[in-house]
Structure 1
Amino acid sequence: MDLVRWCSLLVFWFCLAHEGASGLCFQYHHQAELKHYLHWVSKTYPHITHLYSIGQSREGRELRVLVIGQYPKEHRVGIPEVRYIGNMHGNEPVGRELLLHFIDLLVSQYGKMKTITSLVHNTRIHILPSMNPDGFEMSVPGVCSGVDGRYNNNGVDLNRNFPDLFSINQVTREPETLAVMRWTDMETFVLSANLHGGAVVAAYPYDNNESGKSRYTKSPDDDVFRYLASIYSINHRRMFKGNLCQMSFPGGVVNGASWYTLIGSLQDYGYIWTHCYELTIEVSCCKYPSAEWLQFYWAENKKALIQFITHVHLGVKGRVLDDKQNPIANTSVLVMGRDDVMPYKTNQLGEYYKILMPGSYTFRVESPGYVPLMVNIHVKDTSHMYTATIHDFTLHRQIS
């Protein structure tokens, strides 16, 4: 380890020893410091945190995830899963640091701040501070543009490495990509955002289209995505202005494909294949600003990070059960008028989660061997109560 890294690690331990979690320094945390901090949090707050790895980078660095929640080690019925992912591009590390301070906020204010306590009680929050630790270690501090460190150790842009709906994306999946894909399959993620740098805007699906040209490309849940993006933007101190970084984004939000098209984004993959409402949040004009700016960026994004995941409780949730109240897995739960590319399927506990704007919707519920069900549900905005509208479906077996 070079002298700079040793000094950085000493500063990290000084902050931790003198202040505890609330004294997390505004500095860039390299892999050793990141590991120590996440382990320290999991040992200090074992009742609300759980630390695990989803795999390794191409160079063998662990992709560590910290979970925060009332039941951190396991999924519980009715408690939605959300996640934040940082540092997908190695030379965009502001998001990496924001997520460490977000962890710090959640654990240090749990039981003290009502909104944080309610959020932790009713949501299971997964945080992956760095998806591309190899790229981060190759990046150069203070460089605001360029691609040095952007890619992983194999020279691959991880946000172009996922399966794509509109284009044949026959590329070799990188270890980091495969780890996130496996992770996505393991959990019933409902809401997610990945944090980037180089602009200040909240982008939403789709990122691509059939033509490959930059134009607005709506998803079936375009109204929901525009609302979720606006929630982040209006709770950010400047994003809502929409005219930052010499760019113009009305309201601080943008449809990904209308900005520029890209093939193989995490945002599109998460939404299309796993029905996770995924956004891309750009948090800084400069990709790798000096550490003295980190406190400024934290102040800008703190409220938005909280409010965004709180809105996982917008819409409707419940279970699909048989007439003996047993859960039915892999049941299609369809909202009429919203043609999902991949039909929404219940998990092994028979659960479904759909983020929807307030209003009336007709649901069609189908499972082989059962009589299909059509139900109208009126969805209210109960996100301030940290729960979506609850509705369970009961299916009856078909008579031969």
Structure 2
Amino acid sequence: MYRILFLCFVVSVSSKFAWKHHNNEELPVVLEEVHQKCPNITRVYALTEPSVRNVPLYVIELSDSPGFHQPYKPEVKYVGNIHGNEVLGRELLLGLADYLCEQYNNNDRHIRALIHNTRIHLLPAMNPDGWQLSTDAGGQDYLIGRNNNHSVDLNRNFPDLDAITFEFERQGISHNNHLLRDVTRLAAPLEPETRAVMRWMMSIPFVLSAALHGGDLVANYPYDESRSGAPVSEYSASPDDDTFSSYNFGVQGGVTNGAAWYSLKGGMQDFNYLATNAFEITLELGCDKYPLEKDLEKEWHRNKDALIAYIWKAHTGVKGIVTDDSGFIQNAVISVVNITGPVPKPIRHDVTTGTYFIIN
């Protein structure tokens, strides 16, 4: 599914991570340096398609069995630099990979437990072409470099599964999960970066995810699109609204329903929720989209603990395997009932076991 990488870089195993703006050539070098320092718990791979300008979309995985899904070990991902001029997430994910490796080697019990019990995937840059355009323009324009090299906003380019969900609701049909098979036409052609990320999402059973943005300081959760379809601020609750809005994802202040902030169509967050089992939130890391290099390490210390704590959230809830006499059952539908309130309340958003869907 993924291209095997033979990275012909000369790296120093003892090299110290530098807080700087790493360009598109330096990014895979950093990932390979981390891999060489922690070869037994890391794997560097590229998604199935590169960017428009043929830059590979590199991912580093951290787990005790790189390359293999293991029962009871949840899959988590972070995605940065979807908008090319929003660069802090890119550097934080490079720093996070290095930190997890370093602390693992230092026998940090907390980090070793996290890696032994979780499969973590970090995609620092989904939009390397936009990053290049923004950087070449000085990095301070609020719009230059936001889109990919086809001038497409990648966070508006995913299939609009919200519209399918809301139409089913209007028809009284209780169906709002794994909706990719219900797509009959696309509003716009899929960009190569979008297509590659969709294949990635559908081939690995992610359960938790976050997209790292910039330009504001807020965390938002599904749904991102208003039920009316109008581009207005309109609270658009998902079936898991109680979970998304509770302390599981944040305390009061700085946390919002996406559509209550502003409505968008074709976002990656809601695609995760409606096409896969993954709960994704969007993290706006600050008002400065392209922080100065001297401020990057300070931003790392501000965000480090939260980035790690969020990964641990993948272990909140129930883990299990659905079987019968013949063994593991693929695509088994699992319905959940919330029994914490005075009256048991079904959560009208089912999840499934091991579902796989190929995007052409």
TM over 0.5: yes
The equivalent residue for 2:66 is 72
Whole-Å separation in 2 of the counterparts to 1:344 and 1:39: 35
Identity among equivalent pairs (%): 45
| Structure 1 residue identity aligned to 2:281 | L
Match of 2:109 among 90, 105, 114: 114
**Pairing 1:380-395 to 2, within 5 Å after superposition:** none
Instruction: Give yes or no for contact 1:228–1:311 (8 Å, CA) kept in 2.
Output: no
Instruction: Give yes or no for contact 2:208–2:279 (8 Å, CA) kept in 1.
Output: yes
**Pairing 1:316-395 to 2, within 5 Å after superposition:** 316-324=318-326, 326-336=327-337, 337-340=346-349, 343-347=350-354
The Cα of 1:43 is off from its aligned counterpart by 2.6
**Pairing 1:191-270 to 2, within 5 Å after superposition:** 191-211=208-228, 212=230, 213-227=232-246, 230-231=249-250, 251-270=253-272
Q: SS of 2:322's equivalent?
A: strand
Whole-Å separation in 2 of the counterparts to 1:70 and 1:142: 40
The equivalent residue for 1:28 is 21
Give the TM-score, by structure 2 length. 0.83
CA RMSD of aligned residues (A): 2.0
Instruction: Give yes or no for contact 2:37–2:101 (8 Å, CA) kept in 1.
Output: no
Structure number with larger C-alpha Rg: 1
Whole-Å separation in 1 of the counterparts to 2:72 and 2:160: 30
Instruction: Give yes or no for contact 2:134–2:141 (8 Å, CA) kept in 1.
Output: no
The equivalent residue for 2:30 is 37
Unpaired segments of 5 or more residues in structure 1?
A: 1-12, 235-249, 350-400
| 1:19-39 Cα deviation digits (max 9, x unpaired) | 935x21110000111011112
The equivalent residue for 1:50 is 43
- Of 136-145 and 192-201, more deviation after overlay is shown by 136-145
The equivalent residue for 2:340 is none
Give the TM-score, by structure 1 length. 0.75
The Cα of 1:135 is off from its aligned counterpart by 0.3
Instruction: Give yes or no for contact 1:331–1:346 (8 Å, CA) kept in 2.
Output: yes
Instruction: Give yes or no for contact 1:229–1:253 (8 Å, CA) kept in 2.
Output: no
| Structure 1 residue identity aligned to 2:75 | E
How many equivalent residue pairs? 313
Runs of 4+ deviating beyond 4 Å: 141-145
1:306 aligns with 2:308: yes
Larger RCO: 1 or 2 (CA < 8 Å, sep 6+)? 2
| Structure 2 residue identity aligned to 1:344 | V
Whole-Å separation in 2 of the counterparts to 1:144 and 1:229: 35
| 1:213-261 Cα deviation digits (max 9, x unpaired) | 3111111111221236744xx6xxxxxxxxxxxxxxx511111100000
